Chain A
Amino acid sequence: MVRLERVGLEYGTGRAKTAVLRELSFEVPEGGFRWLLGPSGAGKTSLLRLLNLTTLPSHGQLELLGQHIGTLGRADLPPIRRRIGMVFQDFRLLPHLSAYDNVALPLRIAGRPEGQIRVDVVELLSWVGLSRKLASRPAELSGGEQQRVAIARAVVARPLLLLADEPTGNLDEAQAERLMQLLHEMNRLGATVVVATHNDAMVNRHPAHTLRLAEGYLIRDD
């Protein structure tokens, strides 16, 4: 499902080159759940960007959803991205679109019919408690509400790989717990889930396999 072998990621060129991920090797089996832990700057977000194919490894082998990414061309990547859901730390909602249209976006990109999209999007936004905010734009929503829209957008296409970067950061405890239930439900339905967090209490309440990063290295995988 997810396999990294001596993967490194560097930004910049020449003397300005900075390594943010170094020699990472690990596997997450299909349907696995991983907490991604580590201090700020350890490389958690960079690793999630790699797994989301927002960036590509500088070296090493990356395998996602059974595909060796290094052997693929640019045109082969969009279909893989459509099977990956990502909750960004900064939400990345499109400011000119309503909550409904933001959540519908992955389905429209995938070419799903509007009638089907409406049913799924309304149901999901109701599930995250935003049934009265379908037409609201991000600027009209609180941080927690935006986070929930971002979560709904990440899961609406029923991804095979679900990635979340600090998904509980803007949620109160009850909402955070509800989100964890959603992530576990997606995991139970077969999605592989990787969640980066600083929320130790959440990790303790939902014990699972952890990947711990420090200064770009993987220092624990258990």
Chain B
Amino acid sequence: MTRSLLRPARFDDLGLKRALSDRLLPSLVGAMAFLAALALAGAIAASALAQHWQQGAGGMITVQVPQPTAPAVAGGSRADQVVAALRAAPGVASARALSEDELAALLRPWLGSSAGRIAIPLPAVIEVRIAGAGPDRLALAASLERAAPGTLIEEHDRWVRRLAALARSLQACAALAILVVGFVAVAVVGVATRAGLAARRDAIETVHGLGAPDGYIAGRFAGRATMLAAAGATAGALAALPVLIGLTALAAPFTGRETGDGPGALLTAMPAALWVALPLLPLIAAAIGWVTAQTTVRRWLRRLP
């Protein structure tokens, strides 16, 4: 009597606790959720990078002036002459020479913390914001050459467009990976459900014969599959979290996000979109579990009268 009275409210009449194992299905769904989390992170990172590059480099021209402190033909330093020529050019909104600290910060990802103390001569870097369609590039080049021979104009538009296309293709790859992971999750739940149906065929036929409608039997399977898929996906998403934090730290110099010190700072450095997407994974896995189990069981039950 004790065993019956202690029975859980939703008792396991079809014996699904054993037929749908709480190890294999959650493990596989967990692995899928882990991969989906990485793919999501890739998609979000690619989007953030594209945005960062476009904001940082779009609508900008960088001008490099070798030997910036050397005297110019028209008087003053070469760098000053170039800045003056730029400010006078039509289609230029602003022109500003980067400070030594800003130059060191630009070089830090490649040269490390010693970038500011490097002995090699560096050109002056002038950040030019363009207005409207921008200046006539040939006329501007000629004007700058007159002001300081050897001045280089680096246009960002073309490579920003290429980088944006690269980011979009990375996003497409990530979306495709998420789609494949979703299909595999459906297949995993479907196979597990079919194995459970085969293992519990006698019990299902008995319950069906006692007057259980398809929804009753499918609901039992769907409830179990939903719970296992959600549990597996939760574990998978949690397992992905430290990896994503590590990747965030690695990508920080390229995305412009400050990571600060300590794990707490790393957590806050993760993109907000990822914080929204990660908790959705168990919900999506649960939905996949429910729909797949319902569909599989109802289709299987059609063989019974």
Interface of A with B (CB < 8 Å)? 52-56, 74-75, 77-84, 86, 92, 94-98, 100-101, 105-106, 108-110, 134-135, 153
Contact = CB atoms under 8 A, between A and B. Distances in A.
A79 B212 CA distance: 8
A109 B212 contact: yes
Given A54-B305, A79-B211, 14 more contacts: A77-B305, A78-B211, A78-B212, A81-B209, A83-B211, A86-B209, A94-B15, A96-B203, A98-B4, A101-B13, A108-B11, A110-B211, A134-B1, A135-B1
16 contacts: A54-B209, A74-B302, A77-B305, A78-B213, A79-B211, A81-B209, A81-B210, A86-B209, A94-B13, A94-B14, A94-B15, A97-B11, A97-B13, A101-B11, A105-B207, A153-B210
Contacts of A54: 205, 209, 305
B4 A109 contact: no
B117 interface: no
B211 A74 contact: no
Interface in B168-210: 202-203, 205-210
B2 interface: yes
B216 interface: yes
A135 B18 CA distance: 19
A135 B4 contact: yes
Given A81-B210, A94-B206, A100-B1, A109 B216 contact: yes
B2 A135 contact: yes
Contacts of B158: none
Contacts of A110: 211
B4 A100 contact: yes
Contacts of B210: 81-82, 105-106, 109, 153
Nearest to B212: A109
Contacts of A94: 13-15, 203, 206-207
A110 B13 CA distance: 14
A211 to B, nearest CB: 22
Contacts of A77: 305
B12 interface: yes
Contacts of A52: 209
Given A96-B15, A96-B18, A135-B2, A101 B305 contact: no
Nearest to A53: B305
A105 B13 contact: yes
B104 to A, nearest CB: 71
Contacts of B4: 98, 100-101, 134-135
Closest 9 pairs (CB-CB, A-B) = A82-B211, A81-B211, A135-B3, A96-B15, A100-B4, A78-B213, A56-B305, A109-B212, A78-B211
Contacts of A80: 211
A97 B90 CA distance: 87
A52 B202 CA distance: 16
Contacts of A95: 15
B23 interface: no
Nearest to B14: A94
Contacts of B206: 92, 94
A134 B3 CA distance: 9
Interface in B264-283: none
Nearest to B16: A96
Contacts of A153: 210
A109 B3 contact: no
Contacts of B2: 135
A92 B4 CA distance: 20
A105 B220 CA distance: 14
Interface string B12-50: 111100100000000000000000000000000000000
A34 B205 CA distance: 26
A109 B209 contact: no
B14 to A, nearest CB: 8
A81 B18 CA distance: 28
A98 B208 CA distance: 19
A109 B7 contact: no
A126 to B, nearest CB: 12
Contact of B12 (A81, A96, A135): A96
Contacts of A134: 1, 4
